[in-house]
Amino acid sequence: MGTFEKTKLNRVKRGQNRAIYDTEVIHQIIDAGFIGHVGYIYDGYPISIPMAYARKDDKIYVHGSTANRMLKAILDSGKTSINIMHLDGLVIARSGLHHSVNYRSVTLFGEVKEIVNDQEKTTFIKDIVDQMIPNHWDTLRPMHQKELDRTMVIEFTITSASAKVRAEGVNDEPEDYDLPYWAGVIPVKQVLEAPVADKGYPSTIAIPEHITAHYNNFKQ
């Protein structure tokens, strides 16, 4: 699929040996989650907000209220950046300085525009829902027009990106390896606990198969 050109904007400076610009790897890291931190400037302050997202090819979709100040701010600027990170392990060293974590992260840069067509908005909101729980949208009631009217959908086109990945053990000082201190890696993973039904009708029916399947894929 190619690579992103290394530029002044996306180049990883610290830990360059962990930098990845391969498009396929970057897409894999994006697709492994559904929450990204979106950056914007408001009243002179840099702010980042966690947002649910979905990816389609080189585009990321996020949504929120039409009154959302973050969405308005990035539309005004025409561009933003998004960071997505997965924590994979705690790296426990022999000294405090060398403690670290194993992780997969991407930083995305790109241009934004608003999706105004109702059918397109619905499609991309569906994609965001299904990014969280696969095959979930088709089991929901249809959106009301007033809900759609109050929702803003933003299309973010990735123009530049880089990934940074650490997947290794402890990197202690050579002279410390014989010291009597425990060191190693504690793997970290995200797990789901058993679904809990809401009050009312859901408490009287079986959990849908697609939710049970998703739970089984990520339970402890």
Contact yes or no for 30/4 (Cβ under 8 A): no
pLDDT tens per residue, range 30-47: 999 999 999 999 999 999
Say yes or no to pLDDT of 2 above 70. Answer: yes
Find out whether 60 and 45 touch, Cβ atoms under 8 Å: no
Q: Domains of the chain: which residue ranges?
A: 16-189, 191-220
pLDDT at 82 over 70: yes
For the CA atoms of 65, 68, 70, 75, what is the dihedral angle to 10 degrees? 70
178-216 pLDDT, tens digit per residue, is 999 999 999 999 999 999 999 999 999 999 999 999 999
CA-based nearest residue to 89, from 167, 29, 18, 33: 167
pLDDT digits (tens, 9 = 90+) for 84-98: 999 999 999 999 999
Neighbours of 66 (CB within 10 A): 11
Compute the Cα dihedral for 144, 149, 152, 157 and give only its sign.
positive
Single pTM value for the model:
0.93
**In this structure, what is the dihedral angle of CA atoms 127, 128, 132, 136, given to the nearest 10 degrees?**
-50
Residue 215, amino acid:
Y
| Residue among 54, 75, 60, 65 at smallest CA distance from 149 | 65
Q: What is the mean pLDDT of the chain?
A: 95
For residue 1, name the pLDDT band (cuts at 50, 70, 90): low
Q: What is the CATH number of domain 16-189?
A: 2.30.110.10
Rounded CA-CA distance 209/220 in Å is 19
Bridge-based pairing state of the strands 184-187 and 151-166: unpaired
